[in-house]
Amino acid sequence: MLLDINWEEQTIPEAERERIQEYFERGIAEALKVAEGSEEAEISLSLVDDKRIHELNREYRGVDRPTDVLSFALQEDAEEEPEILDFEDEILGDIIISVERARVQAEEYGHSFERELVYLAVHGTLHLLGYDHEAEEDKAEMRHQEETVMNRIGLLRE
């Protein structure tokens, strides 16, 4: 797996970035394994502030508010929601995470900031692989995959 991280949002101290990057790598690699994605996948991950994710959410989804995570899959079928895909090209796409939303949600859910960041990266990875959560059945499957990954890498709910 090739993971390119853009630390656009600057509130995470340099000293913490290496540890968080290791969690991202473990979480995304495990998500690829659980969802039977390619071990050679390439993903771009950007950590941004609420202002930037709000702009992207408005521009690409028509939703005029910040969100926690956006995924832009390069393998997506434009006509309809994708099935779980079998890729020839290893570049999966981009994941954008709002660091501000992750901090707020970590506090709301009562777990660590690192867990929330990695959970959002895993969630975004599953979207890149074709998972969705519009229908209840799909949502349950996606949540199961997310929790399986988080448990395997040891970032449990507290």
24 close to 138: Cβ distance less than 8 angstroms: no
Q: Which two tokens stand for residue 125?
A: 């990875």
Full-model pTM: 0.90
Rounded distance between C-alpha atoms, residue 5 and residue 43, angstroms: 9
Sign of the dihedral defined by the CA atoms of residues 77, 4, 66, 59, in that order = negative
> Into how many domains does the chain fold?
1
Query: Is residue 157 in some structural domain?
Result: no
Query: Is residue 158 in some structural domain?
Result: no
Q: Amino acid identity, residue 148? A: T
Cα–Cα nearest to 150, from 116, 127, 123, 119? 119
Q: Which neighbouring-strand residues pair with 93?
A: 43, 73
For 54-82, letters b (16+ CB in 10 Å) and e give bebbeeeeeeeebbbbbbbbebbeeeeeb
Query: Is residue 134 in some structural domain?
Result: yes
Summarize pLDDT for 131-150 with one digit per residue, the tens: 998 889 989 999 999 999 99
Query: Is residue 30 in some structural domain?
Result: yes
Strands (DSSP E) contained in 30-103 are: 42-48, 69-73, 91-98
Question: Residue 156's pLDDT is what?
Answer: 80
Q: Amino acid identity, residue 103? A: R
Instruction: Show the domain range for 101.
Output: 2-152
Summarize pLDDT for 78-106 with one digit per residue, the tens: 444 445 445 455 889 999 999 999 999 99
- Domain with residue 121: its CATH number is 3.40.390.30
Q: Which two tokens stand for residue 1?
A: 């797996």
Query: Is residue 39 in some structural domain?
Result: yes
Mean pLDDT of the chain: 91
Q: In whole angstroms, what separates CA 130 from the centre of its chain?
A: 13
Supply φ then ψ for residue 72, to 5 degrees: -125, 95
pLDDT at 57 over 80: yes
